[in-house]
Structure 1
């Protein structure tokens, strides 16, 4: 990855709303930074040049006065003139005659003056330069005088330097504030622009979770109206199709109950008279009995899956509910219930019994029986863990086992304990209606662990 690709990768990881905010901030930073730079250069150049030109003009006027005093050969008058020309204690006036310096105003060592500037002035050319003199930013202006002398004035720029520093601080703060405002404006604009996308995401998540009644609200935005209409139309079609499929499964299952009851009763009569039948007929009756029972379980599971009645939630303690179900099932190999602390839940007890019952039946049929049921609260969820002693489920099949008629390696076989392939699908359906989730993990020490997570309730 090149150095140019790294910023793009970092930005790509940010949410779209934050990327919009960063874009706004960068635009504000570039625009205001450019404006501040231009303003600083123009202002500093104008103010400094004004100060330097003023110092040059002042030197020219003062130089005429000094030349007149030198022409009059009045030493006392010249000294008084230099004192008067200094004006303020910050300004320095220096005159070199016959190699001797005479200064007035702020005490400055002539050796601290820039030598190239003095050399240029000594050659008969006036010169000026911005330098630090005795730690003070100043403008030094020098000009030759008759007789090979030099006249030098040092004008302080302390106040101008302070003004420029203040201007730089103001411009920097302005750029920083503008960037922050751009970031805030970008965040707000991104959030407002992405509100339809957020609503779409929530509606899609509700549909994926089983709530087929989720729809997008109609808005006045002409650009979003086609998207809203298409999404709602698709959701309507999906809801109608699922409803038709559910009604079809319910109708078929319901219509099968009457002949199924007749078959069960007929097989029961044959079973009671099994000893009176020849061996071949006895085997046929046994096979028929097993298949009828499996058929009956499949019809009941289909009826349960097709039901769309609402949940009847009740408050309860999950550990007690699990222990009660295990006690009702009984059996010599009842699994151990590990519930070290109370876990309050609000569930439909009938559906929860079906979830646990189907998980235990699945463990008995395919996993060598359940060996442990763990109940605990974790990350705000009520967690049920059903461990079995079987060979485990390969990772690539852990999602498919919750699909209808998926029975793993036993699919298509008979004599598998009467499994219908609908038990885990019914588990997933009931858990999803509780706004929970179910998945498969590896059991420590070998085997399979089926985990059911339900919304927790604050105790």
Structure 2
């Protein structure tokens, strides 16, 4: 099974997005490290400076012995979130937000008790703080001050959100830009694909517009030359088929008349001669139908206007069945008339050819349906044959194709052009034709045409 990956345009767009994501992500990471590191150092230096000033005030108060130490500590904690702790011989004095001294990191406190100034970012009771420890020179006490960082934390969150949003926005814009550039760069290839599809669909007059781009001009010129050569070849083949068919009509008429004369004298012929006459009559009849089909195909002019009538498909099918010999198949018609606009002769030929195909290859038609499906008029012809294998379901609409009976002679009298004419006439009316399995066995040929308003 073939795995279909993303298109070239989207691969280009994703490459743009990935490159932008890597570059802006690296830039955002560097910006974050520089900005956060700078702001954090500034805050730590400010905290150390503030703690140094405060510990000098404490030392001065202790030297004065005024007894107002608690009031001084309370005055130092003007910020409700800050904390001052002073370890003395008789225990801890605290001010501000109450913190258990045991919650402080033990290595930090060991440095403080050893008289070594230190600072550290820690989380105390769920709050990120800068802890600054300083020795008190007056009596050897330990001074600890905790500076909360809520504003710095909010700044970091805002900065990270801005950087992440910037990286994401840059990636989205890069994908959009890559998609736009990819679409513009692949526009010539898209036009070439569309033109090739139209040529494959039968529009042999399709050409690419001339371009001054030196990289695209050879491709455009080569395609136009190829399309022109193909159109000329097809038109020559059609003209040749028409000329040959036209020239064959006179000798074929003579042969048919001669066969008719012999048929009238059939009783005078022997057994072997009668068998030869039957073979001759059958082949001449088949040859006549083939020449008529070839003439109709060769006379097709895509630019010629067909007569357009408002037709009831149900009545058209009923008229085609009425003139056929033998028992008529079951007919299913929609309650309301199914209307289309088109050439009555061509659409009648479509129905007749489908019925003839069912007679020759499918054991005869067993059902004809005239319905609506998804806003389109629909004609279904079911047969009782073996069905059409999947690998032949497109091939049977090609010229001189008779499915699994191709290359064999028998009494079916098929020319291999009936379904090709069906496809040609249906396409001329803007419709489609396909074959599928009939429920219960056999084949179902389905024609869909644009439905017309009454």
Q: Output the TM-score relative to the length of structure 2.
A: 0.89
Residue 152 and residue 173 in structure 1: after superposition, are their counterparts in 2 closer, same or farther (change >3 A)? same
Q: Does 1:366 align with 2:361?
A: yes
Equivalent pairs, count: 448
d(CA) in 2 for partners of 1:413, 1:109: 104
The one of 292, 312, 321 equivalent to 2:316 is 321
TM-aligned CA distance change 1:106 to 1:285, over 3 Å: closer
Q: 2:9 corresponds to which residue? A: 17
Counterparts of 2:428 and 2:274, CA distance in 1: 44
Residue 159 of structure 2 is matched in structure 1 by 167
Cα deviation for residue 212 of structure 1 reads 0.8
CA RMSD of aligned residues (A): 2.6
Q: Does 1:429 align with 2:424?
A: yes
In 1, distance between residues paired with 2:16 and 2:451? 41
Post-superposition offset of 1:409: 4.6
Separation in 2, partners of 1:264, 1:433: 33
- Is 1:82 paired with 2:81? no
Task: Answer yes or no: is the 8 Å Cα contact 1:210–1:432 preserved in 2.
Answer: no
Which residue is equivalent to 2:92?
A: 101
Q: Deviation of residue 175 (structure 1)? A: 1.8
User: Partner residue of 1:450?
Assistant: 445
Q: Please, which of 116, 128, 138 is the counterpart of residue 137 of structure 1?
A: 128
2:329 aligned with 1:335: yes
Mapped to 1, the partners of 2:245 and 2:434 lie a distance apart of 28
1:405-420 equivalences under 5 Å are 405-420=400-415
Equivalent position SS for 2:243 = helix
Q: Is the contact made by 2:334 and 2:372 (CA closer than 8 Å) also made in structure 1?
A: no
Unaligned runs of 5+ in 2: none
- The Cα offsets for residues 165-185 of structure 1, whole Å up to 9 and x where unpaired, read as 111111122122222222222
Q: Is the 8 A contact 1:209 1:435 kept in 2?
A: no
Query: Which stretch shifts more, 221-230 or 82-91?
Result: 82-91
Structure 1 residues 279 and 117: alpha-carbon distance in aligned structure 2, compared to 1, 3 A threshold: closer
Residue 194 in structure 1 maps to residue 189 in structure 2: no
2:214 alignment partner, one of 209, 212, 222: 222
Q: In the alignment, is the contact (CA less than 8 A) between 1:210 and 1:433 conserved in 2?
A: no
Instruction: State the TM-score, normalizing by the size of structure 1.
Output: 0.89
Gaps of 5+ in 1: 1-8
Q: Secondary structure at the match of 1:13?
A: coil
Contact 1:370 1:387 in 2 (8 A): yes
SS of 2:210's partner is coil
- Going from structure 1 to structure 2, the CA distance change for 1:414 and 1:61 (only over 3 Å counts) comes to closer
